[in-house]
Amino acid sequence: MDGGVDQTKTKRSGGERKEKKEKAAAPPTKSAKGRKKETGLGLTNTKDGNFGEWYSEVVTNGEMIEYYEISGCYILRPWTMAIWETMQNFFDPEIKKMNIKTCYFPLFVSNTVLQKEKDHIEGFAPEVAWVTRSGSSDLEVPIAIRPTSETVMYPYFSKWIRGHRDLPLRLNQWCNVVRWEFSNPTPFIRSREFLWQEGHTAFATKEEADTEVLEILELYRRLYEEYLAVPVVKGKKSELEKFAGGLYTTSVEAFIPNTGRGVQGATSHCLGQNFAKMFEINFEDEKGEKAMVWQNSWAYSTRTIGVMVMVHGDDKGLVLPPKISAVQVIVIHVPFKDADVKEIMNACSATVKALCDLGIRAEADLRENYSPGWKYSHWEMKGVPLRIEIGPKDLANNQVRAVRRDNGSKVDLPMADLGEKVKGMLDDIQQSMFDVAKEKRDACIQVTKTWDEFIEALGQKKLILAPWCDEEEVEKDVKAKTKGEVGAAKTLCSPFDQPELPEGTLCFASGKPAKKWTYWGRSY
């Protein structure tokens, strides 16, 4: 932020304080004379009014991303990377407990290997980026940049796996991938390059592979619900929507009430033996007989962060769950008239130290060239879960004012045992954010049993749960009939937690006997 700006201090008398927020505007811009001009904070779009523009403003004004000169590519700023690291610090130790090892494979893959698994690469073909030149010279053979790493890794699985004692082989890498060909890029949700983890494992039996698929999926549920405070549904993808070349795909599915769209949050695939056949990943079993391995792959990406922003953000900006926020508590001094500013600042610093000593991520904003009101807006924009204000009255009463970001509630807390009280508030904020998000999501779920009900619910941006005959042609027909400017409806997943399906229930789309309940809707 620009320094040396003269602003009026926010004044406070007794228990009252002036909290006027500066008018919404763009970040500081240069005037004609070349000096930076102070502008206010805030959003020019609302979440309900123009969701797309609101989202773009939130992720940029909240200092999560910066737009890059190449379309669909984004700079991930420290505020974002802190969230990514926190998720990594949860997930990586959990998979290490499962004896999954960290590795790293090259970014590049040859066309020969890429084309080896036809069904798989067909799903990615339009998105593959190619390196065709080196300096001023054309390459004799173009090299692809990985859109995912099955074809990069599995030739080496074939080399490393010889006998049953080499199994299971369980690897994970934290890396980036590139998927180039698409329209309407959206930060985090749909970008040309993104960060992710990708696990690739091989087993002697299908039972082992099936077990791991669900263990990993449960970690993804925990990541969303326990850390990002976003409710998800665990389920299985349809044959049409499963991972190309795989046996079956499971996923955790989120939902954005404001847009009425589902989001595939993370996926855990059982690849079966298809890749083993193509890449000759064979082993000698305990009986001395030749067998093929069973494989899985699973991943979550920086898309998780976009889902969190969409679910929790409001018209003031980001709202971050305490578990993943880089700063959990921001402490702001509130000067008044001839009060001893240094004493107030010292109290702020002491408060930060006390909180940090308890493992709470706290910082003080002691800048004097910005008013407290401006700083309130700034840290609200960045989504910090809890704000602590300290002024002369607070010092006199040996207390602080605590303000929650999620619901705006305010409470005066005594300095004594402040750390434990703040810990309790942060835990309550985390749980409350999840509960509120789940309540909003659940209010959007609409059970439909006929085509007319389905179309009506789709028009109302609902997450639709409908009985389905589980036939691919019927799903294709639903997609074709609902295709429009805002996209077609499709299956999101068939939940593992299946409601009762009474005998004689018919498919909402075909009128044939229904086999399962499935979530449908438009999606990102």
Where are the alpha helices (H) located in 190-270, listed in sequence order? 206-222
Q: CATH code at 406?
A: 3.40.50.800
Q: What does the alpha-carbon distance between residue 1 and residue 150 come to, in Å, rounded to a whole number?
A: 45
Residues spanned by the domain of 454: 445-521
Q: Both 301 and 389 in a single domain?
A: no
- C-beta pairs of 115-120 under 8 Å, 24+ apart in sequence: 116/151, 116/278, 116/279, 117/150, 117/151, 117/245, 117/274, 117/275, 117/278, 117/279, 119/244, 119/245, 119/274, 120/150, 120/151, 120/244, 120/245, 120/274, 120/275
Closest CA to 474 of 234, 249, 248, 239: 239
Determine, yes or no, domain membership for 35: no
In-domain check, residue 16: no
pTM of the model: 0.90
**Cα separations in angstroms, 124 against 84, 144, 190, 509:** 25, 12, 15, 30
Residue type, 2: D
In Å, how far from its chain's centre is CA 26? 26
Same domain, 468 and 377: no
Integer Cα distance of 229 and 251 in angstroms:
17
**Is residue 157 in a domain?**
yes
Amino acid identity at 42: G
Same-domain pairing of 296 and 153: yes
Local confidence pLDDT in tens for the 524 residues of the chain = 433 333 333 333 333 343 333 333 333 333 333 333 333 478 999 999 999 999 999 999 999 999 999 999 999 999 999 999 999 999 999 999 999 999 999 999 988 888 776 666 676 778 899 999 999 999 999 999 999 999 999 999 999 999 999 999 999 999 999 998 777 899 999 999 999 999 999 999 999 999 999 999 999 999 999 999 999 999 999 999 999 889 999 999 999 999 999 999 999 999 999 999 999 999 999 999 999 999 999 999 999 999 999 999 999 999 999 999 999 999 999 998 778 999 999 999 999 999 999 999 999 999 999 999 999 999 999 999 999 999 999 999 999 999 999 999 999 999 999 999 999 999 999 999 999 999 999 999 999 999 999 999 999 999 999 999 999 999 999 999 999 888 899 999 999 999 999 999 999 999 999 999 999 999 99
- Pair (300, 338) in one structural domain: no
Count up the domains in the chain and report the number. 3
Is 322 part of any domain?
no
The rounded distance, in Å, linking the Cα atoms of 120 and 132 is 23
Are residues 360 and 501 both part of a single domain? no
Residue 516 lies in a domain: yes
User: Does 283 share its domain with 406?
Assistant: no
Same domain, 221 and 298: yes
Give a yes or no: residue 189 inside a domain.
yes
**Residues in the chain, total:** 524
pLDDT in tens, 468-489: 999 999 999 999 999 988 889 9
- Token representation of residue 7: 């602003």
Report the CATH number that the domain containing residue 474 is assigned in CATH: 3.30.110.30
